Amino acid sequence: MIKTAVITGAAGGIGHALCQRFRDDGHHVVGIDRREASSADEWLSIDLTDLPSLLDGLTTIGKRHAVTSVVHNAAIQPLAGAGDTEPQDFLEAMKVNVLAADCLTSALGDELRAHHGSIVVVSSVHAMATTQGIAAYATSKAALEGWVRAAALDLSPSIRVNAVRPGAINTPKLREGFARWGENAANERLGVLRSRTPLGRVGTPEEVAAAVSFLAGPQASFITGATIVVDGGASVRLGSE
C-alpha cells in the first residue's frame, strides 16, 4: 500500500517543507493550495473558503488514494483588530483556519479510520498570546486547538489528532510582513525576535515539518489531543524579560 498524505497550504514556506518531509517519509503527497504546490506529487487548486468545492475535491482524493495522514497547514491572517475586522474577513479566517479542518475530517474520515491514520494541524503561538491587529487570526488559532481536543475524543481510537504550535518561523510570509516597514525596520524586528527567543534565532520550516512528521508517524502512536510547541522557548519567557 502506498501511503498518501493530504497537506493544505502546500505552496507556502512551511507547506513546501511539509511536502518534502512527507515525501522523504515515503508518502505520496497531495497538496492543496490556490497556488501551484511544486513540491507535492499532486496539486489540487482549491479555495478553502469554497467549502462545497473542498468537499468535492477531498471525496475524489479519498476514492483514489489510501489516505493515512492529513495535515491542515493553510491559514489566512486578516490585518485588523477586534471590532475593526470586516465580518466577511472574520468569517473567511474561520473557514480556512478552522472549519476546513473539520471538512477534511468529514471527507477523509473513512479512509483515515481504515488505516488508523493521523490528523495534524498547524496552529500558532497566537492561539495563546498574541499581538494587536490580528484578532480574527488569533481567535481562529485558539479555536483550532479547541477543535483538536474535541476531535481527539470524537475520533478515537481509530484516528489520532494533534497540533503543532510554531512561533516565529523564517518563511517568505514572515519576511514579506516585516518588509512593509522597510529593510531597516524588518532587520530590527528580526533582531527583536531573536533576542526574545531563548534559543537565539527564528525557526525553520523544516523544524516545523519534523514535528508534524513525528506526530503523524508511528513513534507518536500513543499521543492524541496534544500540542507540540515549536518556538525556540519564546513562550516560556515572562513578558519582555
Q: What is the pLDDT of residues 84-101, one digit of tens each?
A: 999 999 999 999 999 999
pLDDT of residue 179: 65
Cell of 195: 533576542
- Range 100-111 average pLDDT: 97
Give 122-136 pLDDT, tens digit per residue: 999 999 999 899 999
Exposure string over 144-180, b if 16+ CB within 10 A, otherwise e: bbebbbebbeebeeebbbbbbbbbbbebeebeeebee
Identity of the amino acid at 99: L
* Percent of the chain with pLDDT strictly greater than 90: 80
pLDDT of residue 177: 67
Any idea which architecture 4-167+205-230 has in CATH? Answer: 3-Layer(aba) Sandwich (3.40)
Distance CA 184, CA 211 (A): 32
pLDDT of residue 240: 55
pLDDT of residue 105: 97
Distance CA 80, CA 69 (A): 34
pLDDT of residue 239: 63
User: What SS3 class is residue 166?
Assistant: strand
Distance CA 47, CA 36 (A): 12
Give 51-72 pLDDT, tens digit per residue: 899 999 999 998 899 999 999 9
pLDDT at 185 over 90: no
* Percent of the chain with pLDDT strictly greater than 70: 95
Give 3-23 pLDDT, tens digit per residue: 999 999 999 999 999 999 999
Active site residues: 137
